[in-house]
Amino acid sequence: MRKFNTEGPVVADRHYCIPPLERVDLDEVLGLIRDERYFVLHGPRQTGKTSTLLALRDLLNSGAEGDFRCIYVNVETAQSARENVGAAMQAVLAALARQERITLHARHLQDIWREALADTGPHEALQETLGRWAAADARPLVLLIDEIDMLIGDTLLAVLRQLRAGYPNRPRDYPQSVMLCGVRDVRDYRIRSSAENTLIAGGSAFNIRAESLRLGDFTEAELRALLTQHTTETGQPFSAAAVEAVWTGTCGQPWLVNALCRRACFDNKAGRDRARPIEVDDIVDAREHLIRSRQVHLDQLADKLQEDRVRRVIEPLLSGAGENRSSSRDLEYVRDLGLIAREDPPRVANPIYAEVVPRELTYAVQATLNQDAAWYVDAGNRLDVDKLLAAFQAFFREHSEHWVERFDYREAGPQLLLQAFLQRIVNSGGRIEREYGLGRGRTDLLVVWPRQGAGGPQDATDRIVIECKVLHGILERTIAEGLVQTAAYMDRCAAGEGHLVVFDRSEGKAWEKKIFRRKENVNGRTIAVWGM
């Protein structure tokens, strides 16, 4: 039985998949190879890059596109050598020889690379090895190098410079075509050379790059085709709402799509009943499981939040700042990670990542808050948000200075602290959906609270909007603007309850002037306004 794949390259007879070579412009790729070009394929982690390289290798070696020798090699093992160029080069050359043996069932490299390393040393061994290897067979040699950006400093420079040095000798005495694959375009590398005590641009070290191709997310059509494979093979359909939930939650990010569907269809016991369709609640449950279990993919992404260049991009999104003062290089780096969308203005790439980011940044705070959900749930299993926000207001007055300073993202500290407080409570039975972004001037939170066991004929799910704004300028103007925004968000979310929280970050102002609570009516809706 095939399944949705979340670990490693796809294997067609084991995994539902979009054929990897259909996700790139194959004519363009083959044209670059025939034209003897060296080029780059890059994209965020777990989008299908390795699967694409392996499929291309198999196609070229099949003879269907000409008489090529093609080797795929992953150089990640050399990362552990860091800037020990000798040890790293030995790992790279050994990996090449191993792949030649496995893929082509040949052993040309077995002796060549050792002799080359002994004769020329690590700074010429790769160039010498590739030259001898290419000349040993009349068939053009194509090299696909994966995880190139895992190499560090002088090791990466040594590989790039040796590939460049042999370039004029192609195709008879050097690989006809080389594809470098990684998260980022080699042009954007800033490589710290310890030997030269300087920063070197990747585009300078590898200025023979002809093209840079990017592998991105699934299109909506590809996502639907993937889910249809499951229905075709098992008879289990996805409801239209479930398909929409997968698309809107992931925006087509391949690992997220596969992880959600694997959880909903295989890991969840109820989902293994093929007589029932996969519904939107199954996708929502799968989404919460992925986020709470801190899956490796999400954990690796969250780890990047500690980097300064990531913080400079993400912090203004969380705070709703009017502009982003990060550099174009910062933006491009975070886009290459897949953390923000490709288009402007900057926004988090998909709703699941948008949920992961604040949860990760507030995880330590949540763990230390002494709050019990039972304090805020009434006899009808309703979440008493008035009581909850009153408690947070008192907590914020007493502890905000201490807690906000503990956040690396201090500009968004008040919003993050509120979200940590809410998450601690809502985790016990509901969920929070968040909307934030550059220039919005606010953070919108939607608390979805199922009242299990409440009884009654009505749908026992409460939807509560909490909008956060930072005071800029005149208080009444900020409140008036916030009330209109809160009412509009309530209408869009079909929420029955709304709250507007205004954080006053003015230094030196007494808390008595910052703290207040009042109710306002907007278009027939009552909205509670909280000053903090």
The band of 142, judged by pLDDT with boundaries at 50, 70 and 90, is: very high
- Render pLDDT for 405-448 as a digit per residue (tens, 0 to 9): 778 898 899 999 999 999 989 887 889 999 998 888 899 999 99
Let me know the angle formed at the C-alpha of 285 by 279 and 287, rounded to the nearest 5 degrees: 105
Tell me which of 45-54, 193-202, 304-313, 504-513 is least confident. Answer: 193-202
Strand order of the β-sheet with 431-435 is 431-435, 443-450, 461-470, 497-503, 525-531, 516-522
In the numeric block, which tokens belong to residue 166?
A: 């042999």
Fold equal for 20-214 and 220-293: no
Supply the pLDDT for residue 354.
94
Mean pLDDT on 39-49: 96
Answer whether residue 479 shows pLDDT above 80. Answer: yes
Residue 459's pLDDT band (cuts 50, 70, 90):
low
pLDDT tens per residue across span 482-516: 999 999 999 999 999 999 999 999 988 999 999 99
Residues 6+ apart with CB under 8 A from 183: 42, 43, 44, 45, 149, 336, 337
Instruction: Transcribe 100-129 into DSSP letters.
Output: IIIII---HHHHHHHHHHHHH-TTTHHHHH
User: CA angle, 177 as apex, 175 and 181 as ends, to 5°?
Assistant: 115
Q: Examine the pLDDT at 282 and tell me if it is beyond 90.
A: yes
CATH class given for the domain over 220-293? mainly alpha
Give pLDDT, residue 302.
85
pLDDT value, residue 453: 56
Window from 153-157, 199-203, 449-453 with minimum mean pLDDT: 449-453
pLDDT above 90 covers a percentage of the chain that reads 79
Look at 454 and 510; give whichever has higher pLDDT.
510
pLDDT band at residue 80 using 50, 70 and 90 as cut-offs: very high
CA atoms within 13 A on the CB side of 524: 2
| Rounded mean pLDDT, 274-285 | 97
Distance CA(351)–CA(431), nearest Å, equals: 13
Architecture field, domain 20-214: 3-Layer(aba) Sandwich (3.40)
The confidence band for 112, taking pLDDT boundaries of 50, 70 and 90, is: very high
Look at residue 501 and give its three-state secondary structure. Answer: strand
Q: Which two tokens stand for residue 73?
A: 């090699």
* pLDDT confidence of residue 389: 97
pLDDT at 48: 97
Higher-confidence residue of 222 and 301: namely 222
Q: What is the mean pLDDT of residues 285-311?
A: 90
Binned at pLDDT 50, 70 and 90, residue 138 comes out as very high
pTM for this predicted structure: 0.91
Q: What is the reported pLDDT for 254?
A: 98
What is the rounded CA–CA span in Å between residue 496 and residue 504? 27
Q: What is the pLDDT of residue 468?
A: 96
Q: What is the DSSP letter of 264?
A: I
The amino acid present at 45, given as its one-letter code, is R
**Residue located via tokens 């090895």:** 129
Domain chopping of the chain, boundaries: 20-214, 220-293, 362-531
What token pair was written down for 141? 């040699």
Q: Which region among 9-23, 36-50, 236-250, 428-442 has the lowest average model confidence (pLDDT)?
A: 428-442
Within 8 A by CB and 6+ apart from 394, the residues are: none
38 vs 29: CA distance, rounded Å: 11
Model confidence band, residue 457 (pLDDT cutoffs 50, 70, 90):
very low
pLDDT at 452: 67
pLDDT score recorded for residue 190: 85
Q: Give CA–CA dist 47/254, Å, rounded.
A: 5
* Distance from C-alpha of 71 to C-alpha of 61, rounded to nearest angstrom: 9
Q: Is the pLDDT of residue 301 over 70?
A: yes
- What's the pLDDT at 66? 93
Provide the pLDDT for residue 23: 97
Residue 253 reports pLDDT greater than 90:
yes
**CB atoms closer than 10 angstroms to residue 282:** 23
